[in-house]
Amino acid sequence: MPYITTSDNIRAYYDFEGSGPALIMLHGASQDSLSWQYNVEFFARHYSVYALDLPGHGKSGMPADGPNRRSDDNARYLISVMDALSLESAVLMGHSMGGGIVARAATMEKSRVQGLVLVDGASVNVVKSSGYNPKILEMARINPGDWFEVTFRTLMGSATLAERAEEIVTDARRCIPAVAFADISAFGSFRMEHILDDIQCPTVIVGGSEDWSVPPESARAVEKTLRQRNVPVEYLEWEGVGHFPQAECPSTFNVETLAAMKRLGL
């Protein structure tokens, strides 16, 4: 169980496997590194894979002033972990909320981020497109665990096995309630459209056709913007899949995402 202490004194946990160029995997809201359990071994055949726990998630320590409520703070944490691990550069793969975090990190440390993989994490105008408006988010404060369970169940694709859906929901319920609500706040307040002009590295965008949280039309808008700026980009979408392709259809996700990464030279 590898741990490392960041510059702001957070005891950070990460899973590690493989060799070669660094690939950092970052989970979504109310989840942790376990959300990549069906992917780490596959990608470790090609990369040195680091699956991180964000502060207060999984086995990582809590910030001194409480959970991070902003994606910028989580992006700074990610960079501090890279510093602590002495990683000069890496490809960053982020799911959902983690997609916004890795994208933000790529604008903060442009020379160190070799590429991005946004897994149902490339959305513009998230409040309009998915209903994460402030009133609904404030209601979730009452019981964020229940909110995530109900929400996650609606985010599964129609082709997802029932037992896999239960597994994803059960994993999310393990999150500390205050941390889960902070995640809701971070995801709901992040605006990908505000940073797109600063993303320069090759980017793979993947998602499910049945994801209402980060809907395909929103992800395609990100792809279009990057193409217009001549940023190398690949877009993948799978039918019958929802918000968690890395767990809903891991074999397809692994093979096709890796192929897209390789086509972009990552």
Instruction: Kindly report the pTM of this predicted structure.
Output: 0.94
End-to-end CA distance of the chain: 27
Return the SS3 of 147.
helix
Determine the Cα–Cα distance for residues 191 and 121; give it in Å rounded to an integer.
11
Residues lower than pLDDT 70 in the chain = 1, 123-139, 141
Model confidence pLDDT, tens digit, residues 155-211 = 999 999 999 999 999 888 889 988 988 988 888 778 888 899 999 999 999 999 999
Close Cβ partners of 166 (under 8 Å, ≥ 6 residues apart): none
Q: Is residue 229 within 8 Å of 197, Cβ to Cβ?
A: yes
Per-residue b or e along 48-71, where b marks 16 or more CB atoms closer than 10 Å to that residue's CB:
bbbbbbbbbbbebbbbeeebbeeb
Q: Is residue 147 within 8 Å of 216, Cβ to Cβ?
A: no
Tally of helices (H runs) and strands (E runs) in the chain: 11, 8
Identify the burial level of 173 via C-beta atoms within 10 angstroms of its C-beta, where 0-12 means exposed, 13-18 middle and 19 or more buried.
Answer: middle
Q: Is residue 79 within 8 Å of 54, Cβ to Cβ?
A: no
Give Dmax (Cα) for the chain: 46
Q: What Cα–Cα distance (Å) separates residue 109 from each residue in 83, 104, 220, 227, 234?
A: 11, 9, 25, 21, 22
Q: What is the dihedral of CA 237, 240, 245, 251, to 10 degrees?
A: -90
Determine the Cα–Cα distance for residues 177 and 39; give it in Å rounded to an integer.
27
In 96-149, DSSP assigns E strands to 113-119
pLDDT value for 171: 84
Q: What Cα–Cα distance (Å) separates residue 95 from each residue in 36, 140, 172, 178, 211?
A: 10, 21, 14, 20, 13
Residue 133 sits at φ, ψ, to 5 deg, of -85, 160
For 59, the token pair is 């086995």
| Domains along the chain with CATH numbers | 3-263 (3.40.50.1820)
For 144, the token pair is 């964020």
Determine the Cα–Cα distance for residues 159 and 245; give it in Å rounded to an integer.
11
Q: Is residue 248 within 8 Å of 159, Cβ to Cβ?
A: yes
